[in-house]
Amino acid sequence: MSTEAPPRRRYKPGDFDLKVKRASAGLGLFAASPIPKGACVIEYTGTPITREQMYTSNSRYLFEISSRKTIDGSPRWNTARYINHSCRPNCEIEIYKGRVWIFARRNIKPGEELGYDYGEAYVEAYLSGKCLCAACAPKAKAA
């Protein structure tokens, strides 16, 4: 059994070339350069909103960080907003010190769309239970 501590994450996005372009679920964020497994890809940013605003907002870009903090990531300067849901994600979310970081779960090749799992509740509430991710879209078209 190893007593070695796991490597510490670096909470600073790498200098990766990312492109917004057409995807199976609208616009998506794509890698235009290789991204190594474990790398911090990008930070999900936005405007802090109150609990009341969260319940009255029509935004689909709300990210609840804690019971007291939610950000609205809808501004277009938040490039991470273009990362779509995926049932087979190549990225994962980590909330650290009140901020949302997106890390590569595996090596990501140029041309690959970035995706993380939004969770079942989001898919039910906003996608009518029908996932449109690249992994599921071919199944939906066949049905």
What DSSP string describes 4-46?
A: PPPPPP--S-----EEEEEETTEEEEEESS-B-TT-EEEEE--
Bigger pLDDT: 52 or 115?
Answer: 115
In the block, tokens 């939004």 appear at 118
Percent of the chain with pLDDT over 90: 64
Report whether 132 contacts 24 (CB < 8 A): yes
> Average pLDDT, stretch 132-138?
74
Residue 2's pLDDT band, with cuts at 50, 70 and 90, is very low
Is residue 65 a contact partner of residue 71, using CB atoms and an 8 Å limit? yes
* pTM listed for this prediction: 0.86
Q: Over the stretch 37-52, which tens digit does the pLDDT of each residue have?
A: 999 999 999 999 998 8
Read off the pLDDT of residues 5-16 as tens digits, 9 standing for 90 and up. Answer: 455 788 899 999
Q: What is the mean pLDDT of the chain?
A: 88
| 12: Cα separation from own chain's centroid | 16
Identify the residue with better confidence: 112 or 123: 112
Kindly tell me if the per-residue pLDDT of 128 is higher than 80: no
How many CB atoms within 10 Å of residue 75? Answer: 11
**Coil, helix or strand for 138?**
helix
The two tokens of residue 129 are: 């239970």
Rounded Cα–Cα distance for residues 109 and 73 (Å): 26
70 or 120, higher pLDDT: 70
pLDDT at residue 67 is higher than 60: yes
pLDDT at 107 over 90: yes
Residue ranges and CATH numbers for the domains of the chain are 18-142 (2.170.270.10)
**DSSP tally for the chain: helices H, then strands E:** 3, 10
